[in-house]
Amino acid sequence: MSIHESYDLVFKALAHRVRRQILDDLKDQPLTTGALCTHFPDIDRCTVMQHLKQLEGAGLIIAERRGRERWNHLNAMPIQDIHDRWIGPHAAAASAQLARFKQRVEAD
């Protein structure tokens, strides 16, 4: 799989609010699939598991089996990769433009 295809999977996974909420829920600690399902009372377990499958396919979570339980761990590296590739450089460029604008305004 190319790096562009990997980025596409991450962006597609992040496109849905439920999947973003799942990632937020996993930010502080791994959770079982059952615990995650309780966070979404309006969604059935099968739908939550489909969201988890898409997140896992994008490399955003790592699932670990412990007996009958499935523990879901956040893998923030794909998000960091996107930040390093797009967000960081674009934010730096925008900040530099604002700094130049500020200098011109203050010089007048």
- Supply the mean pLDDT for the chain: 92
Q: Provide the percentage of residues in the chain whose pLDDT is more than 90.
A: 70
Q: Are residues 21 and 70 in the same domain?
A: yes
If asked whether residues 70 and 83 sit together in one domain, one would say no
Decide which of 12 and 103 is more confident.
12
Provide the sign of the torsion angle of the four alpha carbons 53, 59, 60, 65, taken in this order. Answer: positive
Beta bridge partners of residue 62, listed in sequence order: 73
Decide if 45 contacts 37 (C-beta within 8 A).
yes
Do 71 and 103 have their domain in common? no
Do 84 and 100 lie in one domain? The reply is yes
Shared domain for 83 and 66, answered yes or no, is no
Decide which of 77 and 1 is more confident. Answer: 77
| pLDDT attached to residue 88 | 79
Q: Give the number of domains in the chain.
A: 2
Q: Which CATH number characterizes residue 3's domain? A: 1.10.10.10
Q: Please tell me the distance from the alpha carbon of residue 45 to that of residue 81, in angstroms, as a whole number.
A: 30
107 with 90, same domain? Answer: yes
Percent of residues, the chain, with pLDDT higher than 70: 100
Give the other-Cβ count within 10 Å of 104's Cβ: 9
Residues 36 and 87 in one domain: no
Higher-pLDDT residue of 32 and 3 is: 32
* Higher pLDDT pick, 90 / 44: 44
Q: How far apart are CA 13 and CA 10, in angstroms?
A: 5
Question: Do 11 and 26 share a structural domain?
Answer: yes
**pLDDT computed for residue 102 by the predictor:** 83
Are 47 and 84 part of one and the same domain?
no
Q: What's the domain range around 45?
A: 1-75
Distance, CA of 103 to CA of 2 (rounded, Å): 42
Examine the domain organization and report whether 83 and 70 are in the same domain.
no
